Amino acid sequence: MPKIFCLFDMDGVLLKPEGYHKSLATSVHRFGQALGAPSTTITEDQIARFEALNITNEWDSLAICVALTLVHLWQINGKIRLNGIEPKAIPLTHERPDFDGFLKTISDGGHLPGVTAYHFLIDQNPWLSTDQRAHLGILLENCRDIYQSLTLPSHQETVLGSRTFEVHYNIKPKLNTESYLLLYDQRLMTKEQYRRLREWLINPDHHAGILTNRPSRTPPGFLSAPEAELGIELIGLNDLPYVGSGILGWYAATHCQLDDHTLLKPNPVHTLTLLQRCLGRSLIDSLQAAVALWQGSDSLSDWQPLDHAKIIVFEDSAKGLYSGKAACNFINKLGLEIDLTLVGIAKNTIKLAALDQVSSFNIENINQIEWEKITS
């Protein structure tokens, strides 16, 4: 009997990421107040547009929103700079910055959306001064560096909660807040669907794992927050193998001399690593095998157990499906056959339009899946 693998994204598939969305909305508003634009907000549709542009990391989308707010305000007062989170006593304007204009004009976020947005804003606003361009560069190019970013520290404190934030980053908290992930994230799978999945997994040929771009734990010396682990605990699938962005970033930087974002989905290494983990291999061995295949080393013995396997990828963003598709293409090149199904999960029409470009079919939520039927 062929092996069957169900690979799940986390946010939008197994979890409703209310914590991330509320953290982003809170941070966008907080920085709008600090800059003098207290009506600044971000909507669910705008968040969906960011994700459809492959800007799925709130570290990036937050910095981009703040940059857009600054450009908006510089038309009123060119001396405004971001230098804290305290609300400005006297607002400059009650008009909202034009997030939609940016989202409708830019075509893709690229591998580093902050850098992509920086060049876009410079090109679209030639009137910006040298000092204003430099400030945007600091804001957007450092948006993923907790110790250099102008926006990330207070946002991560909101996400993780003040206590975990201080312990993890050794940075003094400023907000005295509980973790928004723990307060607002919701498990999407019903108890009945969870039971059915557990029954399906009793079969030794049935496998499941989680691939997420959430930060995850890493070996000492490489900084990454345990956000994937918080989500997995809430879902109740702690026993399943998972691959988060932290370990991929660590391996890329320390073993491959690559930028830490290189191996994340849509890169096939993300999916390839999880497949190896589902086969029972250690994390390091899985990473080694995945990177070797991606870099052109035809190690057939590592992948032979997947011959004639059925792989089903459940994702709410196109880049996860692209990772699955590319991973199977690499396995096919070894002469192995894979039956691949790419399932998009979304209700928002903006996200559905992006998923349609690659998915086999789309559904509204994971509870519509009948495990025996989809894997037969």
Mean pLDDT of 345-365: 93
What pLDDT is recorded for position 36?
Answer: 96
pLDDT single digits (tens) 72-115: 999 999 999 999 999 998 999 999 999 999 999 998 888 899 99
Higher pLDDT, residue 375 or 319? 319
Going by C-alpha positions, the residue among 358, 371, 303 that lies closest to residue 333 is 303
What pLDDT is recorded for position 226?
Answer: 85
**In the chain, domain spans:** 4-14+186-374, 18-180
pLDDT single digits (tens) 129-141: 999 999 999 999 9
What pLDDT is recorded for position 222?
Answer: 85
Of 17-26, 136-145, 218-227, where does mean pLDDT reach its minimum? 218-227
| 126 pLDDT more than 80 | yes
pLDDT band at 203 (very low <50, low <70, confident <90, very high): very high
Mean pLDDT of 175-197: 95
Mean pLDDT of 310-316: 96
Nearest 5°: the CA angle 246, 249, 253 is: 140
Mean pLDDT of 15-41: 96
pLDDT band at 7 (very low <50, low <70, confident <90, very high): very high
Strands of 206-211's sheet, edge to edge?
Answer: 242-243, 206-211, 4-8, 309-315, 338-345, 361-363
DSSP letter string over 211-279? Answer: E--S----STTS----HHHHHHHHHT-TTS-EE-HHHHHHHHHHHS---TTTTSTTSHHHHHHHHHHHT
Pick the CATH number of 4-14+186-374 from 3.40.50.1000, 3.70.10.10, 3.10.450.50, 3.20.170.30: 3.40.50.1000
| 1 pLDDT more than 80 | no
What pLDDT is recorded for position 196?
Answer: 96
Instruction: Give me the chain's average pLDDT, please.
Output: 94
Mean pLDDT of 211-232: 89
Cα–chain center distance at 144: 12
Please name the helix (run of DSSP H) or strand (run of DSSP E) that holds residue 210, with its range, or none. Answer: strand 206-211
